[in-house]
Amino acid sequence: MKSTEKVIVVKDLVKDFGSFRANNHLTFEVYKGEVFGFLGANGAGKTTAIKVLCGLLKPTSGYVKVAGYDVYSQSNSIKAAIGYMSQKFTLYEDLTVYENITFYAGIYGLKFKEIKQKSLALIYKLGLEAHTHKLIKDLPLGWRQKLAFSIAIIHNPEIVFLDEPTSGVDPITRRQFWKMIYEAADRGITVFVTTHYMDEAEYCDRISVMSEGCIVALDTPYELKKKYGARSLNEVFLELVRTKQSI
C-alpha cells in the first residue's frame, strides 16, 4: 500500500438499465498511487462501473466520489481530473503523432507553451523522434498503444482509467506497457485498469473480481492466492466465477 489517501470511494453503487442490474451494490476504495486491477468475465459489469466512475453514466443509487468529487453533481470536475484510455483504439489514424498529442493536450486545456514542451518531451521519451510527423496508421500497434497511454496521462491526472489497454498486443510490448504503468503510479497517478490477462493481474497492487454485477473478491494477488489455496490468479478467478454462478 503506497498511501492511505483515498482517491476513489464507492459505497453501495447500483446501476440499472431498465430491469437489468449491471452493478449490484458495489463497495470499494482505491488509494492514491495504487495500481488497481478490475477483473471479471465479459458482461460482468466492469465497463459500466468504469463509465460511472468517469462521469459518463449517472448511478441509479449509491455513494460515489472520484478524486474528491461527487459523480452526481460534479462530473465536469471529475472529467478534468482523470485520464481515460479505452479498449477500442482511440488515436486518430489520419493525424500524425505530433498532431494527436497536441490535440488531446489541447482538449484538456493545457497552455500552448506547455503543450509544445510536453509533446516534445513525450516523443523523446518514447523514442519516436523519427516518427514525429508520421501518420498514426503507419505505426505498429504496440507503439500506438504506448503512445495512447502517454497521451491519456499527459495532463497529469489524479487517476487514469485503462479499459483493457493491452488487448491484441504482443507479450513484449505488454511488459513495456506495464513498465509505463508503474512509472505513472510512482509519479502518484492512480491506475485503474481492467484486464482479461491473469498474468497482468499479478502486476496489480490489489485486484477486485467482478461476477454478474457483484464484487466477489478484493485483495492483493498474494492474499487471494493464499485464501483460495491456488498457485495462480487464473485458478482463483475460475474458482470465484464458478462459485458465484453455482449459487
Site residues for other proteins per CB under 8 A: 17, 54-58, 76, 79-80, 82, 84-95, 99, 102-104, 106-109, 112, 135, 161
Q: How far is the CB of 103 from other proteins (least distance, A)?
A: 5
Helices H, strands E: what count in the chain?
9, 10
How far is it, in rounded angstroms, from Cα 218 to Cα 216? 7
Distance (Å, whole) CA 60 – CA 106: 33
Cell representation of residue 9: 470511494
58 or 125: whose CB is closer to other proteins?
Answer: 58
C-alpha cell at 146: 504506448
Closest CA to 177 of 146, 212, 144: 146
Minimum CB distance to other proteins, residue 4 (Å): 27
- Contact between 180 and 173 under an 8 Å Cβ cutoff? The reply is no
Q: How far is the CB of 138 from other proteins (least distance, A)?
A: 13
Identify which of residues 14 and 230 has a Cβ nearer to other proteins in the complex.
14
**Smallest distance from other proteins to CB 86, Å:** 5
Return the number of the residue (20 or 231) whose C-beta is nearest other proteins. 20
Nearer to other proteins, 117 or 245 (CB): 117
Q: Phi, psi at residue 145, to the nearest 5°?
A: -65, -40
